[in-house]
């Protein structure tokens, strides 16, 4: 594990977060000062627009930090694929963080459960100092906080409150938190590897006479 202070020491470092409905990008100096961009639009366009607004040339970046989830899988995978391409052409270290862990450390309340929709009436759930879990709605216990700009497909649990997911506010609060891990092959977070059903192909035959 590493802190933002440690990773940005060789900066400037670029942070990319596409977990929410709006992509956020930051150019972070070793001092912790940063310039931010959050262009509207879908992630496949907004990621590149954000770098353009910040005046970032991927070939010149000394390091990358990205959100691996939970959050928008499409947005996160868009960022991951871009990072794989950029670092293949211009090698630079990549670090990853978990969105809910960032929120939990920024709030500093060990009683608060930070949640994000995991679909099918289940939720990603994290408390400060505890591992990330996936729980059905009926097992969630208050107090519960949901990042305000995260998409939801299931009905939010009763009593849940919204909390900002705004990196200009978050970074100063988590600057020295051990939240970053190396990500030599950037990808989206999954609770478990996907499983697939196998099937045996059969040649179609006409039904038997009299059937």
Residue 86 belongs to a domain with what CATH number? 3.30.420.40
Answer yes or no: is 191 within a domain: no
Answer yes or no: is 15 within a domain: yes
Dump pLDDT digits (tens) for 115-161.
Answer: 999 999 999 999 999 999 999 999 999 999 999 999 999 999 999 99
Quote the CA–CA distance of 115 and 100 in Å, as a whole number. 7
Answer yes or no: is 131 within a domain: yes
Answer yes or no: is 113 within a domain: yes
- Kindly write down the DSSP assignment for every residue of 1-31, as one continuous string: -B-HHHHGGG--EEEEE-SSSS-EEEEE-TT
Answer yes or no: is 210 within a domain: no
Answer yes or no: is 206 within a domain: no
Q: Give pTM, 2 decimals.
A: 0.89
Backbone angles phi and psi of 2, in degrees to 5 = -145, 160
Answer yes or no: is 208 within a domain: no
Number of domains in the chain: 1
Answer yes or no: is 68 within a domain: yes
Dump pLDDT digits (tens) for 87-128.
Answer: 999 999 999 999 999 999 999 999 999 999 999 999 999 999
Domain that holds residue 116: 4-182
């Amino acid at each position: 594990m590493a802190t933002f202070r440690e990773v940005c020491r060789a900066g400037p470092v670029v942070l990319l977060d596409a977990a929410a409905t709006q992509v956020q990008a930051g150019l972070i100096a070793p001092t912790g000062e940063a310039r931010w961009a959050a262009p509207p639009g879908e992630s496949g366009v907004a990621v590149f627009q954000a770098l353009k607004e910040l005046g970032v040339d991927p070939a010149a970046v000394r390091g990358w930090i990205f959100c691996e989830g939970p959050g928008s899988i499409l947005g996160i995978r868009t960022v991951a694929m871009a990072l794989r391409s950029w670092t293949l052409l211009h090698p630079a270290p990549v670090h990853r963080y978990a969105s809910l862990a960032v929120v939990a450390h920024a709030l500093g309340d060990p009683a608060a459960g930070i949640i994000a929709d995991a679909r099918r009436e289940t939720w990603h759930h994290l408390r400060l100092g505890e591992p990330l879990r996936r729980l059905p709605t009926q097992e969630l216990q208050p107090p519960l906080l949901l990042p305000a700009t995260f998409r939801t497909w299931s009905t939010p649990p009763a009593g849940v409150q919204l909390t900002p997911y705004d990196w200009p506010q978050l970074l100063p609060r988590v600057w020295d938190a051990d939240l970053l891990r190396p990500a030599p092959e950037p990808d989206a977070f999954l609770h478990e590897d996907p499983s697939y059903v196998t099937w045996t192909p059969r040649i179609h035959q006409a039904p038997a006479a009299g059937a």
